[in-house]
Amino acid sequence: MRIALAQVDAVLGDVDANVERAERAIAEAVAEGADIVVFPELSLTGFSVGELEDDVSIALDDERLGALAARTPGGLLVGFPEAQTHGLHTYNSAAYFEGGELVHVHRKLYLPNYSIFEERKHFRPGLTSRAFPVCGGKHRAATLICNDAWQPQLGFLSAQDGALILLVPAASAQSMFPEHYGSREYWRGITTFYGRMYQLYVVFVNRVGTEGRLRFWGGSHVVGPWGEVIAEAKEFEEQLLMVDIDVAEVRRRRRSIPLVREARLGLLRREIDRLLEEGGDL
C-alpha cells in the first residue's frame, strides 16, 4: 500500500484557496500511485477558526468535498470544521472518502482547552471512535485527530476494533512548554509508543505555516508496527511524502508477540464499570 502524507500549509478562512492547494497535492499523489492521501487537521480552513468573523464550517454534502473525493481514485482523509445540518453544533472532523464515496467521519473527541488553545469553545466533542474499511475493505484503519492521540486508550480501542493503520492528522505547533519538551520529541514518543505497543502503522500528518503565535512545524512521519520510524518529512516546509507500507507486517508482528490479542476486554470492562460506579466519569 502506498500512502501520501500531504504536509501542507493553509490560508486561515480561505476555503477555496485551501481546496485548490489540496487539489494540487491530490493530483501529484495520484500521479505517483498513492492508494490513500492524508491531509492535516482542519486543512481546508486553517486551525484558528475561532478568530474569524464568518462561519467557515463545511457540511458533509458540500460540493467542494465531493469534488476532492472525486479526484482521488483511492482513499482520501481530509480535515475541516463540520457543520451539522441543524446548525447547532460544529465538529473538528476528518472525513475518509474512497472511490469518491464517504466511508467514515471521525469527530475529534478530546478538545484542548488550555494555554492559547480554545477548541472546546468552538467545537462540540465527538461521541464515537470506530475503525473503518480501507482499500476496498481489504484492511481496516482508524483516525485520531491530534489531541485524541494524547489519550492512549483511544489507540487501544482502535487496535481492538481491527485497525491495522492509525491515521493521525494534526495541527501541532511548536511547544508551549519548551522548558519541558519539544513538540517533535513529544510526538515522536507518542507515535512510536503506539506503533510498538498496538503493533500497527501510525501515519502522523502535521501541517506547516504560521497563524498568529502558532508556528506549525511539520515533521510528518510513518511508524511501523515494531515502533521504528520508516519515513519522515522535512520540518517547516510543505512536502508530499510518499511511503510504501506492507500491511501484512502488522499481522506477522501480532502473531509473533500477541500483545493486541491479550487485551482481556472483560477484565477491563469490569474495572471500568467499577470506576464509573465510584464517580470516575465527567
How do residues 21-50 score in pLDDT, each as one tens digit?
Answer: 999 999 999 999 999 999 999 999 999 998
Q: 2-277: CATH homologous superfamily?
A: Carbon-nitrogen hydrolase (3.60.110.10)
**Which pLDDT score is estimated for 181?**
75
Given a cut of 80, whether residue 86 has pLDDT beyond it is: no
Q: What is the rounded CA–CA span in Å between residue 214 and residue 206?
A: 13
How do residues 189-243 score in pLDDT, each as one tens digit?
Answer: 999 999 999 999 999 999 999 998 899 999 999 999 999 999 999 999 999 999 9
How do residues 197-207 score in pLDDT, each as one tens digit?
Answer: 999 999 999 99
**Which pLDDT score is estimated for 68?**
98
**Which pLDDT score is estimated for 174?**
85
**Which pLDDT score is estimated for 279?**
87
Ranges of each domain in the chain: 2-277
Beta strand 229-232 with 221-223 is antiparallel
pLDDT band, very low/low/confident/very high, at 175 (cuts 50, 70, 90): low
Q: What is the rounded CA–CA span in Å between residue 266 and residue 279?
A: 20
Given a cut of 90, whether residue 182 has pLDDT beyond it is: no
Mean pLDDT of the chain: 95
**Which pLDDT score is estimated for 282?**
67
Given a cut of 90, whether residue 84 has pLDDT beyond it is: no
Locate cell 470506576: which residue? 275
How do residues 125-163 score in pLDDT, each as one tens digit?
Answer: 999 999 999 999 999 999 999 999 999 999 999 999 999
**Which pLDDT score is estimated for 118?**
80
**Which pLDDT score is estimated for 116?**
67
How do residues 87-136 score in pLDDT, each as one tens digit?
Answer: 688 999 999 999 999 999 999 999 988 766 788 889 999 999 999 999 99
CB-based contacts of 53: which residues, under 8 Å, 6+ apart? none
Beta strand 165-170 with 139-143 is parallel
Measured between alpha carbons, how far is residue 80 from residues 36, 56, 59, 234 in Å? Answer: 18, 9, 9, 24
